[in-house]
Amino acid sequence: MSVAAGPDVVELIEELAGPAVTEPDYVSSSRLTNRVLLTAWTALTGREPPTGEQAEREFRAALAAPGDLGPAQVERLARLLCPEPGGDLPGWLAAAAERLVLRARPWLPVWVGFTWWALEWCRQSGYRQVVFLGRDGLPFYAAARHMPQAAGLELSLLDVPRRLLGSPQLEAYLAGRLDPARPAAFVDTGCYGTVVTPLARRQAGRAATFFLTSRNPRIFGYLNYLMSWHLLRDGPAAGPADFGVYACDLVESLPKPYTVAAGDGRVRREPADVTSFTLAMRLCVELARHTRQCAADPMAAAAVAATELYRMFQGGSTALLLDACAPKNPPPAPVLAELGVAGLPPQSDIFGLAGG
């Protein structure tokens, strides 16, 4: 199984937010950035740019398509991110992108701190293959490409459609992308490990896994440990474990620049609707810039930012993109048992109940 030939959205991501790019001219102006992205989207899709009204309809459909968010959450995201229709499309997209960046900016230190921790561990532990799982792991991949810890590491963005799990086509797809004889580290949002577990089992040369938030005590969860102090100070009822799940949901609900489909022996990446594409790419550029400008050790900034966001979550702040965790569909009990999810304290307190 192969990735379909033709223009690759990930190549464009790497060009716009790659390590060789120090401060491209188009980053200095959000309106100019979005004109560049709109031109790229038109070239990739072969479509004429839609009207603002059509762009908003397609964006709403893209938010609802995965089924992860409830209807009210889709409506909230669209209302927060989409300006009033009118004017030219580049201006409308620029305004929408500014709205996303404004709401996402408080989270950048957390995402960068998580990525920094993962890369530093890999560097110290001899794990050169570092695989970011798409599409949710894209923000971490965009940040990682600008970190000094990336020197000597082999960073890649890997899309693994769920329909390939348990399929004989999975091995053919991974061949040439992931060397099973060498140590590999997987970076993703979380929560249970249904995708990463079969990938890790394939690695005879050892595997490590890093989740932003984990509900599987066998898998490292960055925010779980940042929230462990709040668990002691505030107690489980205050929601530190729920905040970790919320943080994971928020990353997974962000606009994605491409869609993934598997079939006919291929995995295909196709550009998303113009709004999702532009907003996601603009966020990658913003993450690249933030990472270049952050301190050498961003761990302290990540802890401070996580605490502030946790307090906002507790208080039901309207400044947050999501007003609550997304509706949950945990894996069925046999799958949870196979993943090795246990409910032993204190891990069960830090990570939350596996079935919740």
The CA distances from residue 292 to 7, 119, 269, 299, in Å, are 27, 15, 28, 15
* Start-to-end C-alpha separation, the chain: 35
Q: Could you tell me which residue, 335 or 279, shows the higher pLDDT? A: 279
Total domains, the chain: 1
What does the pLDDT read at residue 197?
A: 86
Residue in 252, 260, 176, 288 with CA at minimum distance from that of residue 8: 260
Structure tokens at 105: 């900016």
What does the pLDDT read at residue 58?
A: 96
**Does 178 fall in a domain?**
yes
Q: Quick check: 342 pLDDT over 70?
A: no
The per-residue pLDDT for range 154-172, each reduced to its tens digit, is 999 999 888 888 778 888 8
Mean pLDDT, residues 254-262? 89
Other CB atoms within 10 A of residue 181 CB: 8
Q: What does the alpha-carbon distance between residue 88 and residue 51 come to, in Å, rounded to a whole number?
A: 8
Give me the chain's average pLDDT, please.
Answer: 83
The per-residue pLDDT for range 327-340, each reduced to its tens digit, is 766 666 666 566 65
Q: Quick check: 264 pLDDT over 50?
A: yes
Q: Quick check: 5 pLDDT over 80?
A: no
Cβ atoms 284, 134 nearer than 8 A: no
| 353: Cα within 13 Å, side-chain hemisphere | 7
Q: Quick check: 182 pLDDT over 80?
A: yes
Mean pLDDT, residues 331-356? 54
**Does 130 fall in a domain?**
yes
Pick from 73-82, 261-270, 295-304, 343-352: least confident: 343-352
**Does 299 fall in a domain?**
yes
Pick from 96-105, 238-247, 304-313: least confident: 238-247
Q: What does the alpha-carbon distance between residue 285 and residue 259 come to, in Å, rounded to a whole number?
A: 19
| Boundaries of domain holding 2 | 1-351
What does the pLDDT read at residue 258?
A: 92
The per-residue pLDDT for range 288-330, each reduced to its tens digit, is 889 988 866 788 999 999 999 999 999 999 889 988 888 766 6
Q: Quick check: 272 pLDDT over 60?
A: yes
DSSP 121-149: HHHHHT--EEEEEETTTHHHHHHHTT-GG
What does the pLDDT read at residue 27?
A: 43
Mean pLDDT, residues 204-233? 87
What does the pLDDT read at residue 164?
A: 83
Q: Quick check: 116 pLDDT over 90?
A: yes
Q: Could you tell me which residue, 270 or 263, shows the higher pLDDT? A: 270
Q: What does the alpha-carbon distance between residue 13 and residue 290 come to, in Å, rounded to a whole number?
A: 16
What does the pLDDT read at residue 6?
A: 39
**Does 201 fall in a domain?**
yes
Interacting residues of 227 by C-beta distance below 8 A, sequence separation 6+ = 240, 241, 243, 244, 306, 310, 350
What does the pLDDT read at residue 239?
A: 81
**Does 356 fall in a domain?**
no
- Strands 220-221 and 154-159 turn out to be unpaired
Pick from 89-93, 155-159, 241-245, 260-264: least confident: 260-264
Q: Quick check: 348 pLDDT over 60?
A: no
What does the pLDDT read at residue 20?
A: 43
